[in-house]
Structure 1
């Protein structure tokens, strides 16, 4: 006996997911596994490139494992054992902490391959993926104001189409076109970041550590080194190349007034020649992207529209990590949507859907509130330099900082550091 479809006349799916990045593909996978009819719309065609550091901390790896992704090195993932922090004339190698909640390793994989892998995983789960479908806005019911579908343009001809469903998940990234189309604006009191990155052929391609530079120095004139704004990263890709990039927070005076590509060249021209970070070793252009942080777009659910990942400002304001949190928010959204669609349309279904922003606040709200405060503090270069100068020589303190910044701590049965961080997040108001 076949189960009758739950789609009503005129509907194209039970759930429309807009955007097949980590947030969208993760949500679509969980929804399809639960037996829902899912339409996943992606403006590009896979494989496609994304501006990113390509590195995942153990938080992100946990989300991959929860999703059922094979994260072994044999499956194409380059593992790393921790974070190398460079600043204040000191270099520290900090291993990822040994925890019950997260695996003891991070991974690196290029987004061109990573996003394709997650999208195909969603297809295998039963989601219907339409590539080359650029969503232009939401369709709202004139009587209720509820989002009941999306408009889009398909293919090279940009043929206008529309799709309808009782629920829409906005996983369309920092552009948040869907949210904007229904009047959900970003909050200006929450931090934003901007990041630029480039790939270089380099002997540093294989590294047991992700490398973070707390200070960016232009040493092209060794006699007069210049401290530049922002922080940098060097992530070996294991394939002969290195992903090198830098980020600046909106809390910095340099934000919005800096030529980020020129800034990156100034930093890299001052790095050792043997690292290979020079123009002739570059394998592509410098790419840039905005980083929406600390729940900078709310509400995360309203009138049939669910904001997930970057569309809802899920990037960690402590460290700029986005993938793991996009996938975490996608899992929470999917769980709430599955429960909601098991109920009849009306107040009971809405009650289940409003559980999503409540669970987000419960899991991340206080932590992000601390991160928003942190981002304002380090946006001041004097505070940043002082913290680097006095913090870097203290290894125990830096281990605590790593746990805090990467969100790697056990809330239950953790060690003394974990208890300190857990207490701090509980005392902080939710974001």
Structure 2
């Protein structure tokens, strides 16, 4: 599968979960893989500390040890708070996914995945930001330009490039692939706090309503979360969607402080002295907000392709899944001669993404528009939260956790909904 004269069979831009997953699966099948990362490990990244069973499945595929002895904290499910109700929903028991989630900080999570990729045979170069594509006479990408740790200009060549450089999508932008403004977008802000009371919680906690004590128990925009990390700290944060009137018009860090000031004092989240670092924010590109996912020798994965789940803001699982799929497609494509036959295989990448997620993301796009209206959110929490069976259905829908074949009645309904919805 090796093309003589190239530095690699595939260049992967970005060593986040999507890029490292792609590099791992490529290298495991014997391809020469060059994984380029602009930063140095370990590194801190915003969000992503709470992993659903969907992400856990990908970790298991990569041979990652997810035991507590290795620093992971397992969780049983999701605790939902809203409408005056506190409901604990266990992850569903499915054949397709494990029945537990995990938490771990991004400080070493990404490094762990990158190490798995290098152990499989990929070559990792950190401190090497990619600056743009190298094009041949036809406009096809045949490599990348980059800057080395000493600021020296570098060039690397390969017949395929996987762009996994995150929400900024600079590599895609260099090819003229801009994000779509008609797709959902969110912003998330999170902060770590020391909290002996909450740090070892065995549920991820989701707050559907945020209230401010200073404003007379005023309802705040957005939704919140609290994830125990098992090391004496918790990850607390909130997200606001672009369907909300508050999007882009709010100081999100102040919003976070207002909400936390209304939490119980014994949790330690309302005391700035317990903060472990400053609040940090990140954008959440949702529902395929950047397409096409394949063009001219480049495949987009994860946040670069806008693959965050519109229902729950989960991005890591979809980054890793799309990374694995991109690797599978690249392996098959490079086994064929360059030209029409190879392009036929590569064109199957966006088609397969649409088949897997298109209908589901379309439903998610509608969901985002609805919950951006405060009256709809109030009605949903008031009338939905008191009904555990309905909320178990909602959990499966929001977390995209169903068995594709067989399964229970809820699975069949959700699967039917995603099949009949027009692809996003």
Q: TM-score, normalised by structure 2?
A: 0.98
In structure 1, the gaps of 5 or more residues are none
Contact 1:79 1:107 in 2 (8 A): yes
Shift of 1:358: 1.0
| Cα-to-partner distance string for 1:108-145 (whole Å, 9 max, x where unaligned) | 0111111110001100000000000011111112x211
Select between 212-221 and 259-268 the one with higher mean Cα deviation.
Answer: 212-221
Structure-1 residue corresponding to 2:287: 294
Counterpart among 198, 203, 207 of residue 213 in structure 1: 207
Q: Note the C-alpha offset of 1:253.
A: 0.9
The answer as to whether partners of 1:53 and 1:245 remain within 8 angstroms in 2 is no
Query: How far apart, in 2, do the equivalents of 1:153 and 1:261 lie?
Result: 34
Query: What displacement does 1:167 show?
Result: 0.6
Instruction: Determine the structure 2 residue equivalent to 1:367.
Output: 360
| 2:44 is aligned with 1:52 | no
> Hey, what's the Cα distance between the residues in 1 that align with 2:337 and 2:395?
46
Alignment of 1:19-58 (within 5 A): 19-58=14-53
Deviation of 1:334 (Å): 0.4
CA distance in 2, matches of 1:159, 1:153: 6
Q: Distance in 1 between matches of 2:48 and 2:273?
A: 21
Report the equivalent of 1:249.
Answer: 241
Match of 1:185 among 158, 161, 178: 178
- Residue 2 of structure 2: aligned partner: 6
* Residue 387 of structure 2: aligned partner: 394
2:145 counterpart (141, 151, 154): 151
Distance in 2 separating the partners of 1:295 and 1:236? 30
Deviation at 1:152, TM superposition (A): 1.2
Q: Distance in 1 between matches of 2:62 and 2:287?
A: 24
Identify the range of structure 1 (63-72 vs 171-180) with the bigger mean alpha-carbon deviation.
63-72
Gaps of 5+ in 2: none
**Hey, what's the Cα distance between the residues in 2 that align with 1:388 and 1:150?**
49
How far residue 298 of structure 1 moved from its aligned partner, in angstroms, is 0.4
* Match in the other structure for 1:318: 311
- Once the two structures are superposed, residues 189-230 of structure 1 have per-residue CA deviations (whole angstroms, 9 ceiling, x without a partner) of 100110010000002000110000001101236xx2111100
Deviations 1:321-370 (A, max 9, x none): 00001000011100000000001100000011111111111111111111
Q: Deviations over 1:208-262 (max 9, x none)?
A: 10000001101236xx211110000000000000000000111111111111111
Distance apart, 1:416 and its partner CA: 0.7
Q: 2:105 aligned with 1:123, yes or no?
A: no
Deviation at residue 429 of structure 1 after TM alignment: 0.6
**Displacement of 1:76:** 2.1
**Cα separation, 2, equivalents of 1:373 and 1:144:** 39
Q: 1:133 aligns with which of 128, 134, 151?
A: 128
Query: How far apart are residue 73 of structure 1 and its match?
Result: 2.1
SS in 1 for 2:299: strand
Q: State whether residues 38 and 130 of structure 2, in contact with CA within 8 Å, keep that contact through their aligned partners in structure 1.
A: yes
* Distance in structure 2 (CA, Å) of the matches to 1:55 and 1:104: 14
Q: Of the candidates 194, 198, 205, which is equivalent to residue 204 of structure 1?
A: 198
Q: CA deviation at 1:75?
A: 2.6
CA contact 1:251–1:380 (8 Å) conserved in 2:
yes
1:345 and 1:280 map into 2 onto residues whose CA distance is 60
Contact 1:369 1:428 in 2 (8 A): yes
Match of 2:167, SS state, is helix
How many residues get paired? 422
Query: Is the partner of 1:175 in helix, strand or coil?
Result: coil
Distance 1:205 1:76 in 2: 13
Which range is displaced more, 144-153 or 176-185? 144-153
Q: Distance in 2 between matches of 1:280 and 1:117?
A: 31
Residues 35-73 of structure 1: per-residue CA shift (max 9 Å, x gap): 111000000000101001401000111111122222222
Asked if the contact 2:80–2:205 (Cα under 8 Å) also holds between the matched residues in 1, the reply is yes
- Asked if the contact 2:13–2:36 (Cα under 8 Å) also holds between the matched residues in 1, the reply is yes
Q: RMSD of the TM alignment (CA)?
A: 1.0
TM-score, reference length from structure 1 = 0.96
Partner SS for 1:174: coil
Give the secondary structure class of the aligned counterpart of 1:13.
coil
Q: State the alpha-carbon separation in 1 of the partners of residues 260 and 278 from structure 2.
A: 14
The answer on whether the counterparts of 1:54 and 1:111 sit within 8 Å (CA) in structure 2 is yes
